[in-house]
Structure 1
Amino acid sequence: MAPEQRIQEIFAELPVRGTLHAVDIADGREIAVGADEQVVIASIFKILLVLEFSRQVEAGQIDPTERVLVRAADRLGGWGTAGCADDIELSLRDLALFAMSVSDNTAADLLLHRVGRDTPALLAAELGLDRTRVIGGPRHLLESMFADVGARDASEFAAIFPTLTREQVSRMRVFRPEHTTSSTARDITHLLSLIWRDAAGSPAACAAARNLMRHQMFWTRIAAGFPDEVRVASKTGTLPGLHMEAGVVEYPDGARYALALFARTEDLGSRNIAVDLAMSRAARTAVDALRAEVPAPLTA
């Protein structure tokens, strides 16, 4: 059975609508399932954000030790600094770490303000990510969600959202690729390949971005499909009914594979381990297929 067909069956078992792109960074061989479909990328956009931050640091435009005060008005909810009860102060490079390690939306929003609101979109264009569109950061996304349901704040949104029908939810801009930050699985693996080949900026900037991605704490998607000796650097994205992750798996033999997976469910919950594990199985299936098809070396 072709790996693409097996991957489709993995998604169909749940069922979920899934897209995947996997590419061998060394030679460009690929496995593609809906890889050119425009999809919401949510927090995966933070890869572009920390890459731009790393580039500006290496260019001397930003001092990574610059201090930032995170106040109550800055908090957007979620993990990391967003959940702090009191004002805290930390460096820009620690904002980048929190944005990647625990997908801290507050940290990402403050970092975006410092590097420039338009720079991730400009960076995407510079790198040839023609299908990638960045519309604001975490605060913009949250505000669009509030506006679409008529909520004034997070507490009102939490009360209103469970009363919405699936059709009403689907009309929210945050779930519509044409109205929010979006890309394709192929564009995202191209971005990752550029970073891992030191072609998305200076070698030091690319190395810094790779290091930040290796700090992600969430492991139930791509990483769950691979043994401990395989290093995984990745970034999740999650919205009600949307599960996604992009990353690179690095084998001890030096082989590296870029992956981008997106799964959409009818269930609007954000905690669905079955979807996460299906994504891990799909990722492993794709990589195993690429490793099994390594071209034989040329002989004289």
Structure 2
Amino acid sequence: MSGAVPPRRSALRARSFLGTLKALDALSAAGAQVSVRVADIDSGEAVLVGDDHLTLPVAGLGVVPLLIEVAAQIEAGTLDPLQIIERTAVDPVTVGGLWHQLKAPALPVSDLAVLAAAASDATAANALLARVGLDAVRARVEQIGLVKTALLDGFRDTRGPDDAPHVALASTGELAALFAALVNAHVVSPAVSAQVSEWLSLNQDLALVGASTALDPFAHDDDRHGLLFVNKTGRADGIRAEAGVIAGPRAGAAYALIVCFDDLSVAHRVRAHEAFRALGLDLMEYAY
């Protein structure tokens, strides 16, 4: 990450995030592009910041603004959550998810939202995007004040020269702020914020930051130890991204981390994943 600004740490609550800093420094030294932001969920004060202004590809994290638009249209009464959408309404795509493996040829909007949030289901997300419209999602992104976040395209098995180069772009600064606003019920309306947060709380991808929470990936929306964890990940070749909120009895934080790296070997991929897990450990220390 030539010329990158090293992540800096606030003295807030005197927690170090030393493990995260070391892991991100190692990634940067190896040539990866890294962007990170952690902020206290109550005060909004920055805890850890590194190049959080950069606009970078975030893959499946682009589902979040899509889900916001779906929930907003449901609240407005312009979209029926029980409307049935045929799988054949969109081109086949198998890059992720479950629907393309299921026998059901059609599902209601609300179930598609669950699949998109919980299983990063590409077909479900594409079906929702076809229903609500890309222009509507872009207008919603602008309406909620995001200027460095954009959903560019649906999911594709292969991207040709005429396709958008990425599904979505965002900055960690905006992603962390967006998740804080969702949890604090400030996105569109309290009902929309609650619905999107509920969908995202079902996310089963706990392999990155979530690996340090020890939560059950299949049932973690009501933890017996009072841990709140809402997140969304994005994965593509050479891209790992995650944003979310983690809160415990002591404190809570909104976070976002994007790593763009040369995916030349399993070792390169593992090194990227280790940075997310280091962030998870530091966030758990912050929350507890």
91-100 vs 69-78, greater mean Cα deviation: 69-78
Q: CA separation in 2, counterparts of 1:215 and 1:79?
A: 16
Which letter does structure 1 place at the counterpart of 2:165?
R
Question: In the alignment, which of 76, 80, 93 is matched to residue 63 of structure 1?
Answer: 80
Distance 1:92 1:269, change over 3 A: farther
Code of the residue aligned with 2:273 in structure 1: it is: D
2:225 is the counterpart of 1:208: no
Residue 84 of structure 1 deviates from its aligned partner by 2.3
Of 180-189 and 49-58, the range deviating more from structure 2: 180-189
Determine whether 1:13 maps to 2:26. yes
Aligned residues: 260
Preserved contact between residue 63 and residue 116 of structure 2 (Cα < 8 Å) = yes
For residues 93-152 of structure 1, what are the alpha-carbon distances to aligned partners after superposition, in whole Å with 9 as ceiling and x for unaligned? 11111111111111001101111221221111111112223322224xx56x23379xxx
2:184 aligned residue = 197
Quick one: which of 157, 161, 186 aligns to 1:147?
Answer: 161
Cα distance in structure 2, aligned partners of 1:219 and 1:276:
11
Out of 80, 101, 108, the residue aligned to residue 97 of structure 2 is: 80
Instruction: Indicate if the aligned counterparts of 1:233 and 1:248 stay in contact, CA closer than 8 A.
Output: yes
Whether 2:146 is the aligned partner of 1:124: answer: no
Q: Distance in 1 between matches of 2:104 and 2:19?
A: 49
Do the aligned partners of 1:44 and 1:237 also contact (CA within 8 Å) in 2?
A: yes
Q: 2:257 aligns with which of 241, 256, 261?
A: 261
Asked whether the equivalents of residues 20 and 275 of structure 2 are also in contact (C-alpha less than 8 Å), the reply is: no
Q: Does the Cα contact within 8 Å between 2:233 and 2:243 map onto a contact in 1? A: yes
Matched AA of 1:189: A
With the length of structure 2 as denominator, give the TM-score of the two structures.
0.80
The equivalent position to 1:232 in structure 2, one of 229, 233, 252, is 229
TM superposition shift of 1:6: 5.1
Output the amino acid matched with 1:173.
Answer: P
Match of 1:173 among 165, 169, 179: 165
* CA distance in structure 2 between the aligned counterparts of 1:251 and 1:120, rounded to whole angstroms: 32
Residues 172-221 of structure 1: CA distance to partner in whole angstroms, max 9, x if unpaired? 933xxxxx631110011111122111111221111110011011111111
Using the alignment, how far apart are the partners of 1:56 and 1:8 within structure 2? 41
Structure 1 unaligned spans of 5+: 150-171, 175-179, 293-300
Cα RMSD for the two superposed structures? 2.8
In the alignment, is the contact (CA less than 8 A) between 1:70 and 1:81 conserved in 2?
A: no
Is 1:219 equivalent to 2:206 in the alignment? yes
1:119, 1:73 → 2: CA distance?
A: 18
Cα distance in structure 1, aligned partners of 2:102 and 2:203: 23
2: distance between equivalents of 1:242 and 1:268? 12
**Counterparts of 1:236 and 1:269, CA distance in 2:** 21
Preserved CA contact (<8 Å) 2:241 2:257: yes
User: Contact 1:240/1:269 (CA < 8 Å) preserved in 2?
Assistant: no
Q: Which residue of 1 aligns with 2:277?
A: 280
Q: Using the alignment, how far apart are the partners of 2:204 and 2:19 within structure 1?
A: 28
TM norm structure 1: 0.77
| Partners of 1:260 and 1:8 in 2: CA distance | 14
Asked if 1 retains the 8 angstrom alpha-carbon contact of 2:109 and 2:128, the reply is yes
- Kindly indicate whether the alpha-carbon contact (under 8 Å) linking 1:222 and 1:280 is maintained by their aligned counterparts in 2: yes
